[in-house]
């Protein structure tokens, strides 16, 4: 049972390995959502995510014999580092099975903590099956990333810290993958103050908890498709599901495009790197149907590899019309390129890429294609530049931008 005594015990225990993550008030998101918005920055934990809480508390409750047999888990990355960190603290072996799609930074950091890493399967559920097989073959003690009440108790300590710092919090937004974090946070929040509302946030491409709540029982999705790899789970935990049914006040789903925009928002306004799964609650702030409340968004992690980060930034700039591409047809004669560049420059645009195609027409003297990728300040500035090109007779055509 998830009891107040257990949560209090866990809150004291996890302080041995966690950093203090004080709430950060966001004037930017407060203005957008018409609420007072605070972030709980678990991306600043030593392992880069909240998962160390549940892993450490769960392992602290094991017997010496259970620990000495060696620990094993399956994880997309953050729970892996939590288990590895806790195992090193207790001086025991840890084996981590991770999906082959796990970002390299999570794999390398897990290895750096002393764990053996095995890559298997394309999603968490496939890695999980392989981990169970290895546990049976080698006698390891399995530490489930979310379908375990001890793990959920450790994760729930976040709610205690939120309430201690912001006693009159109205809403807590929590990301959902398998549901361990949402279980711990929502259960403890209700124990501390039944008036606190806890809203779960899932990626639209892997909304297994939403489907399960609608069905009234645990549902397994046929597939998961989302850039939020840490929450790409096909099936929520059956042990924790009853607590979710009782204590969660609703679910918001967000698209991947919204996560990309949220990444830019956090970098530009808070100078923080938050991984895609941790950005779910940031994206959800634009979906709130209430105003004037104190809202805490849990930023669950910040373990994002540089390649993914680069891709997200590029797509985000394109989505926000900060970068766009136009195609214009020009006669193949000297000075035409300068004319186009001059119009862009006169309107404060910045040309960042040019592609010249002489073979768009069989008559090169009549027309060659020039594709111009331009940096702008946003949608209005983009429209201004396109109109200026039209006014000069270039007939620009907007096409998909690629960097």
Looking at per-residue confidence, does 366 or 209 come out higher?
Answer: 209
**Residue 332: its pLDDT value, please?**
77
Q: How confident is residue 305, by pLDDT bands cut at 50, 70 and 90?
A: confident
**Residue 93: its pLDDT value, please?**
94
pTM: 0.87
Q: Which CATH class is domain 321-399?
A: alpha beta
Asked if residue 61 has pLDDT above 90, the reply is yes
**Residues 210, 212, 300, 382: which is the catalytic one?**
300
Asked if residue 76 has pLDDT above 80, the reply is no
Beta strands in 50-155 (DSSP E): 71-74, 94-98, 116-119, 141-142
pLDDT digits (tens, 9 = 90+) for 164-187: 999 999 999 999 999 999 999 999
294 is annotated as an active-site residue:
no
pLDDT digits (tens, 9 = 90+) for 333-375: 788 888 899 999 999 999 999 888 776 665 555 678 889 999 9
What sections of 249-335 are H helices per DSSP? 256-270, 280-284, 306-319
Q: How confident is residue 41, by pLDDT bands cut at 50, 70 and 90?
A: very high
Q: Distance between CA atoms of 365 and 207, rounded to whole angstroms?
A: 55
Is residue 61 classed exposed, middle or buried when 0-12, 13-18 and 19+ CB atoms within 10 A define those classes?
middle
- Mean local confidence (pLDDT), 89-98: 94
What is the rounded (10 degree) CA torsion for 377, 382, 383, 385? 110
**Residue 361: its pLDDT value, please?**
60
Q: Which residues contact 280 (CB under 8 A, 6 or more apart)?
A: 175, 176, 201, 202, 203, 228, 231, 254, 259, 300
Q: Which residues pair with residue 40 across a beta bridge?
A: 298
Q: Give the domain 52-142 fold.
A: Rossmann fold (3.40.50)
**Residues 40, 51, 58, 197: which is the catalytic one?**
51
pLDDT digits (tens, 9 = 90+) for 246-262: 999 999 999 999 999 99
Asked if residue 200 has pLDDT above 90, the reply is yes
Q: Distance between CA atoms of 355 and 263, rounded to whole angstroms?
A: 29
All CATH 3.40.50.1100 domain ranges of the chain, comma separated, are 4-49+149-316, 52-142
**Residue 363: its pLDDT value, please?**
58
Q: Give the domain 4-49+149-316 fold.
A: Rossmann fold (3.40.50)
Asked if residue 32 has pLDDT above 80, the reply is yes
- Mean local confidence (pLDDT), 145-163: 96
300 is annotated as an active-site residue:
yes
Looking at per-residue confidence, does 17 or 366 come out higher?
Answer: 17
**Residue 185: its pLDDT value, please?**
98
- Mean local confidence (pLDDT), 123-138: 91
**Residue 140: its pLDDT value, please?**
96
Q: If you ran DSSP here, which 8-state letter would residue 113 be given? A: T
All CATH 3.30.70.260 domain ranges of the chain, comma separated, are 321-399
Least confident among 274-283, 316-325, 362-371, 383-392: 362-371
**Residue 362: its pLDDT value, please?**
54
């Amino acid at each position: 049972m998830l009891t107040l005594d257990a949560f209090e015990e866990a809150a004291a225990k996890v302080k041995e390995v966690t950093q203090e993550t004080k709430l950060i008030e966001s004037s930017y998101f407060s203005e957008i959502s018409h609420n007072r918005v605070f972030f709980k920055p678990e991306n600043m934990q030593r392992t880069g995510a909240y998962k160390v809480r549940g892993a450490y508390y769960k392992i602290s409750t094991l017997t010496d014999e259970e620990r000495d047999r060696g620990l094993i888990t399956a994880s997309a990355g953050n729970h892996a580092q939590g288990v590895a960190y806790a195992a090193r603290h207790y001086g025991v072996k840890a084996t981590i099975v991770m999906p082959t799609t796990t970002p390299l930074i999570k794999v390398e950091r897990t290895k750096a903590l002393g764990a053996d890493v095995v890559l298997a399967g394309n999603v968490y559920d496939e890695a999980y099956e392989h981990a169970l097989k290895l546990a049976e073959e080698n006698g390891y003690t399995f530490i489930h990333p979310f379908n375990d009440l001890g793990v959920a108790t450790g994760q729930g300590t976040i709610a205690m810290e939120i309430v201690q710092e912001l006693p009159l919090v109205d809403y807590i937004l929590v990301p959902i993958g398998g549901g361990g974090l949402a279980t711990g946070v929502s259960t403890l929040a209700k124990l501390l103050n039944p008036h606190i509302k806890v809203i779960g946030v899932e990626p639209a491409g892997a909304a297994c908890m939403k489907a399960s709540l609608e069905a009234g029982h645990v549902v397994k999705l046929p597939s998961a498709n989302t850039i939020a790899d840490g929450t790409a789970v096909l099936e929520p935990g059956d042990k924790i599901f009853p607590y979710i049914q009782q204590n969660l006040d609703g679910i918001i789903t967000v698209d991947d495009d919204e996560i990309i925009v949220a990444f830019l928002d956090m970098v530009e306004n808070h100078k923080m790197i938050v991984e895609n799964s941790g950005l779910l609650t940031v994206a959800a702030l634009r979906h709130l149907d209430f105003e004037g409340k104190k809202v805490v968004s849990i930023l669950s992690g910040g373990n994002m590899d540089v390649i993914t980060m680069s891709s997200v930034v590029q797509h985000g700039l394109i989505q926000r019309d900060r970068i766009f591409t136009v195609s214009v047809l020009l006669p193949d004669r000297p000075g035409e390129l300068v004319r186009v560049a001059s119009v862009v420059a006169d309107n404060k645009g910045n040309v960042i890429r040019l592609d010249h195609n002489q073979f768009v027409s069989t008559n090169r003297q009549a027309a060659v294609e020039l594709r111009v990728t331009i940096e702008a300040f946003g949608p209005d500035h983009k429209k201004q530049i396109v109109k200026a090109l039209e006014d000069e007779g270039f007939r620009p055509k907007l096409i998909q931008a690629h960097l």
